[in-house]
Structure 1
C-alpha cells in the first residue's frame, strides 16, 4: 500500500504536459497507454497523471519508431526490463543492440532493391524491352502476384 501511495505521489504530470514536453499528441499518449507501452495513474479527480520518467520512455519509443521498429517489437523489448522500469542508459545500449540486427537486415534489403530497381520492377509485366529477368508467358503469375522478383535473393 505504501509503495502504491509513493507511485501516486510521483505521478504528477498531466497528459497535456507530457504531450507538449515529449512532442507527441495527447491521442498518441492514450494510444501508447492502450498498447501497454506507457502507464498512468488516476488522481482523486480521476485524471490521468504520469511519472516524470514517462518522458524518457516516450523518447525511447519515438527513437525506436524512427528506426523502423514496430510498436509490438518495442513492447516486447521493453517487457524484458525488470518491473516495467523505464530504460536507463545501460538498458538503452542493450535494447538498441537487439534492434541493430533488424536494422542491418532492412539496410541489406534496401540495398538489394536499389541495385535492382533500374533493371526490373519485379512484377512480370513484360512491358520493358530489356528486362534482365524476362518472365516469359508470365510463369511467375501462376504462383504469386505483385513485385515479387525484387524480393528474391
Structure 2
C-alpha cells in the first residue's frame, strides 16, 4: 500500500454516507484494500473513499459485485480510478447503457402492441409467452422453476 494517510472504517463510512457494515462487506469481498492494526482493527487508505463511490455508482448502473471487481482489477496496483481510468471505464459503462437503451426500446415497441390487444393473458402474450410454447415443459411457473425461456423470432 502507498504512503497515503490511513483512516478508520468509521471515517470511510461517514465520508461515503454508508453503514460500517457495508464498508466491512466491501473489504471482505476484496473490493477495497485495508490493513489490520496490531489491535485487529481495519484501517484503509484514504483513497478508498473514491473507490467506494465508484462501487456504488457501478451498482446503481446495474453491475454485479463480480463485474465491479473485474473492472477494478483492470486498474494497475489495485488503485482508485483516476480521471484517465474513469474515461476508459466510462466507455465500458456507455456500451452497457446503449445495450439497455436498445432493450428498453424493443420492450417499448412490444408494449404498444400489447396494450392494443388488451389480452393481459400469459397464455397468449406475444411479449412473455408467445403462442404458449413454454407449456410443452409442463405446468407451473416454468421460468421460475429454472426453465430457460424459449426465444421467438
TM-score bin (small chain): 0.7 to 0.9
Partner in structure 2 of residue 56 of structure 1: 50
Name the residue aligned to 1:65: 59
1:29 alignment partner, one of 17, 20, 23:
23
User: What are the ranges of 5 or more consecutive residues in structure 1 without an aligned counterpart?
Assistant: none
> TM-score normalized by structure 1?
0.76
RMSD: 3.0
Residue correspondence of structure 1 range 50-129 to structure 2 within 5 A:
50-118=44-112, 119=114, 124-126=122-124
Report if the CA contact (8 A) 1:10-1:52 is conserved: yes
For 1:41 and 1:79, the matched residues in 2 are separated by: 18
The answer as to whether partners of 2:130 and 2:152 remain within 8 angstroms in 1 is no
Q: TM-score, normalising length from structure 2?
A: 0.76
Q: Which runs of 5+ in 2 are unaligned?
A: none
Change in Cα spacing, 1:141 to 1:22, as seen in structure 2 (3 Å) is same
Q: Structure 1, residues 87-117: CA drift from partner, whole Å, max 9, x if none?
A: 1011011011112212211121122222223
Aligned mates of 2:81, 2:39 — CA distance in 1 = 30
Distance, in Å, in 1 between the alignment partners of 2:11 and 2:49 is 10
Asked which structure has the greater RCO (Cα within 8 Å, sep 6+), the reply is 1
Contact 1:42 1:48 in 2 (8 A): yes
Report the count of equivalent residues: 141
Instruction: State the shift of 1:124 in Å.
Output: 3.5
